[in-house]
Chains A and B, each alone.
Chain A
Amino acid sequence: MLDSKIPSGPIEEKWERSRFEMKLVNPANRRKHTVIIVGSGLAGASAAASLGQQGYNVHCFCFQDSPRRAHSIAAQGGINAAKNYRNDGDSIHRLFYDTVKGGDFRSREANVFRLAQISVNIIDQCVAQGVPFAREYGGLLDTRSFGGVQVSRTFYARGQTGQQLLLGAYQALEEQIATGSVKMHTRSEMLDLVIVNGKARGVVTRNLLTGAIESFSADVVVLATGGYGNVFYLSTNAKGCNTTAIWRAHRRGAYFGNPCFTQIHPTCIPVSNENQSKLTLMSESLRNDGRVWVPKKKGDTRPPTQIQEDERDYYLEQRYPSFGNLVPRDVASRNAKEVCDDGRGVGPGGMGVYLDFADAIRRMGESVVREKYGNLFDMYEEITGENAYKSPMRIYPAVHYTMGGLWVDYQLMSTIPGLFVAGEANFSDHGANRLGASALMQGLADGYFILPYTIPNYIASNSLEKVDTSHPAFATVKEDVNKRIAKLIGIQGKRTVDSFHKELGKLIWENCGMARSADGLRSNLQKIPALREEFWNNLRIIGTGEELNQSLEKAGRVADFLELGELMCLDALEREESCGGHFRVESQTPDGEALRNDERFSFVSAWEWKGEGDQWELHQEPLTFEHVHLAQRSYK
């Protein structure tokens, strides 16, 4: 049985009490303890900086050329905090309630409550660091609304909130690097985890410039390596985002939580060509002022400006009068898919819906719209060549975030002692659907305010024998890594890495995307292993392992996606209910909304790797709801 280690007592006091109960490490002893942090996004950089400040010996790794590149940087819209500066009825309880409900009752109440509590500290911390949040004329912080909620609790820095929060954490990290408390390893990719006597004690990495395979030992390993949305090939993730670090840890014994819970974001620029390499998100904040519509008539190809008001279907406003265009992401995405499947989609291929700002421009004036969303309108024009001030944007859902990830307990520790997982890489907090502006909140909560307590507690409560890289376990893992690289290069087949990646992505998108059926999933469970088989027999990589070799880097990542993709489909097949972003066509309400089955599926799926070629074993962590009443989600 999985032990989530949720502290007893009233939910409001759980975190406060457990902080008091946690053991501390004497300041003089901290530098004797090494912490490895893989990933330098919001969770990784904030954890590395904070633990460095406390005096631990920190090693931080990223595959990019600088920690500032991590993909947190691309988050646009904002970060939630229950500050209630607007006096509009917000509170910690309401943020907690919105998040549990938004996640369609598949998250842990205690974790979410802690997240809501910490949200207020995050804003304080970021302001102190100089994050240039938007201000009003009086000098106070500005906020805006986001999908799935009815209060204005989202703090933002134009359309670049993720960038500014990441730069805040990055600067704090660089300050620690300068003091010597953190050693930064850029252009280094973690390729495996080293376990000694049942505890995570280090990593094996590849230097992406020289190809050198290196080992590092530590008392604690933290994976803050982001999500696995690139399993779909086309997603809003950066090209380098991958599952390798968490997947390698999974193969070493870390359970994988809810792998099929992925988020399809409703407002992305539609796919335009065969060679497209990535999808671009347009911030959800646009839905505050933009109105979503399609023509009422099927196959209507007139330009949008010629379609009269009474010929337009503002389907979100019609169907969800109380939330309108601000319904949660999963609901907005599914509705866009439905109207397009119905033949009423717009743009090339009919895979798009309009997001129209004509009313907002009439109401507020173009200059106000420009002030709020100017950079997004510019970005839209750069990509599509269309001016969204003059005619509506075209948008379509795209893969954006993965709620699933390595299973962690309340302390953010995985099923491998000493292996902590933070940010998007873990499964916690968002359930089956993440609300907008909550990813930044969770990443920073984990890194600034949770790990800096739970890691010292782990170090202080365990007698960690001295282990360095001369321990035989390191040599064994290093050999595994070397063998795998040699194997990838040695295939010398005919197909490129990208061709396999695209084929896998199509399979997952079609059968494990916005709508999932038992038949489609079963067919994927046949096709993915076959594709994997072909990959290992027909891949061609040019060059060697002893140089900068971007195809080799990609190949290692795609090999892991080919395993993860299968587990996602298996998880989606097992979960015979719809919840949040996981929509099983067999389980819907009469009016087409996601229908949960709480009796059978009110649990977290935690999958254990049973070895090459064997099936996974499913473990369940039951979810109980004492504070938020289980109900059919309604945004009507």
Chain B
Amino acid sequence: MNLTLKVWRQQDTKSSGKFVSYPVQGVTPDMSFLEMLDLLNENLQAKGEAPVAFDHDCREGICGMCGFLINGVAHGGHRGTTVCQLSMRFFKDGDSLTLEPWRAKAFPVLRDLAVDRSAFDRIIQAGGFITAPTGVAPDARAILVPKEDADRAMDAAACIGCGACVAACPNAAAMLFTAAKITHLNSLPQGQPQRDQRTVDMTEAMSNELFGSCTNHGECEAVCPKKIPIEFIGRMNRDLIHATLHHHGK
């Protein structure tokens, strides 16, 4: 099949960008979306033009490195799929596709489709961990975790930190990302000692990074490649109220 891509081209963070149209020919349905972009890049380079920069690594939907908007939808809108796993069989001959980077103040564009997501790392630094220095652990069987809690922790921990939730949110909120980590750690017995501090510190870090707040649009859950439910934001808010009222009234 033949496609037309309108791709956001931007040299670096300081430069302004623009859309540039490229035809791509000979796309087959068994290619992945990024393989289609590889094809575009091979053609661009053959013509002496700079290839389109985009972040990617594992190409199996787990590292969280890839992601951009396809026709305005994060990861292309195929439920539960990152753009690296998006198959070209969902597109048809003659399609015109607009590709642009995540749009959020907290995620500056680095070049073309690649953005800076280091704000996510800083949210984790604020409290997204359980302090357990190497070597002090009791036997793993000493800590019993009810299956329901372990399953919820795993559902939340499945987040790959790709940033689609932020890109999809009209407020560019990072609440689904933050809530997923808080739900993972706060659901486990090991996470209880730091529960309140973690919740307060991580939500504060989130606000400091120029992310907006949740106003219940639900766009984040709709595009999340790991189907993290918005319910976790409710849990985070409940934990935050608890922490603020009972321990850390500021």
Contact = CB atoms under 8 A, between A and B. Distances in A.
User: Are these two chains actual partners, yes or no?
Assistant: yes
A240 interface: yes
A368 to B, nearest CB: 14
Interface residues of A, number: 81
Interface string B100-120: 000000000011001011101
A127 B137 contact: yes
Contact of B125 (A140, A178, A281): A178
B150 A133 contact: yes
Contact of B137 (A128, A139, A160, A543): A128
A569 to B, nearest CB: 27
A378 B184 CA distance: 23
A278 B111 contact: no
A128 B130 contact: yes
Contact of B34 (A167, A277, A449): A277
B22 to A, nearest CB: 15
A542 B51 contact: yes
| A123, A129, A498 pick with most chain B CB within 10 angstroms | A129
Contact of A496 (B45, B116, B157): B45
Interface stretch (A473-481, A546-554, A627-635): A546-554
B182 to A, nearest CB: 12
Nearest to A271: B30
Interface stretch (B62-70, B166-174, B213-221, B230-238): B62-70
Interface in B113-141: 114, 116-118, 120-121, 124-126, 128-141
Contacts of A379: 60-61, 85
Contacts of B38: 275, 277, 498
Given A68-B64, A74-B62, A163-B62, A141 B117 contact: no
Contacts of B188: 130, 132
A575 B3 CA distance: 50
Interface string B162-190: 00000000000000000000001100101
A139 B87 contact: no
A275 B158 CA distance: 30
B63 A71 contact: yes
B89 interface: yes
Given A68-B161, A160-B158, A209 B51 contact: no
A171 interface: yes
A411 interface: no
Nearest to B42: A496
A84 B35 CA distance: 45
Nearest to A138: B144
A189 B141 CA distance: 40
A128 B150 contact: no
B57 A83 contact: no
A130 B125 contact: no
A138 B144 CA distance: 8
Contacts of B120: 66
A631 B161 CA distance: 47
B245 interface: no
Contacts, number: 220
A614 interface: no
Contact of B58 (A50, A71, A171, A175): A71
B129 A551 contact: no
Interface in A61-79: 64-71, 73-74
A65 B55 contact: yes
B134 A132 contact: no
Given A174-B129, A175-B125, A280-B60, A136 B147 contact: yes
A157 interface: yes
Interface in B60-105: 60-65, 80-81, 85, 87, 89
Contacts of A163: 62, 157-158, 160
Given A74-B58, A139-B146, A275 B124 contact: no
B57 A273 contact: no
Given A125-B132, A238-B58, A548-B111, A542 B45 contact: yes
B154 interface: yes
Given A121-B137, A124-B138, A278 B59 contact: yes
A382 interface: yes
A123 B89 CA distance: 42
B59 A140 contact: no
B28 interface: yes
B118 A540 contact: no
B140 A124 contact: yes
Interface string A268-300: 000011011110110000000000000000000
Contacts of B160: 163
16 contacts: A69-B64, A74-B60, A83-B140, A121-B135, A127-B143, A127-B190, A128-B138, A157-B157, A174-B128, A379-B60, A383-B87, A448-B135, A449-B135, A452-B134, A498-B42, A542-B45
Interface of B: 11-12, 28, 30-32, 34-35, 38-39, 42, 44-46, 48-51, 53, 55-65, 80-81, 85, 87, 89, 110-111, 114, 116-118, 120-121, 124-126, 128-141, 143-147, 150-151, 153-154, 157-158, 160-161, 184-185, 188, 190-191
Interface of A: 46, 49-50, 53, 64-71, 73-74, 83, 85, 121, 123-130, 132-141, 157-158, 160, 163-164, 167, 170-172, 174-175, 177-178, 184, 186, 209, 236, 238-240, 272-273, 275-278, 280-281, 378-379, 382-383, 385, 448-449, 452, 496, 498-499, 540, 542-543, 547-548, 550-551
Given A74-B58, A172-B132, A382-B80, 8 more contacts: A71-B63, A73-B63, A127-B140, A135-B150, A178-B125, A238-B58, A278-B60, A385-B87
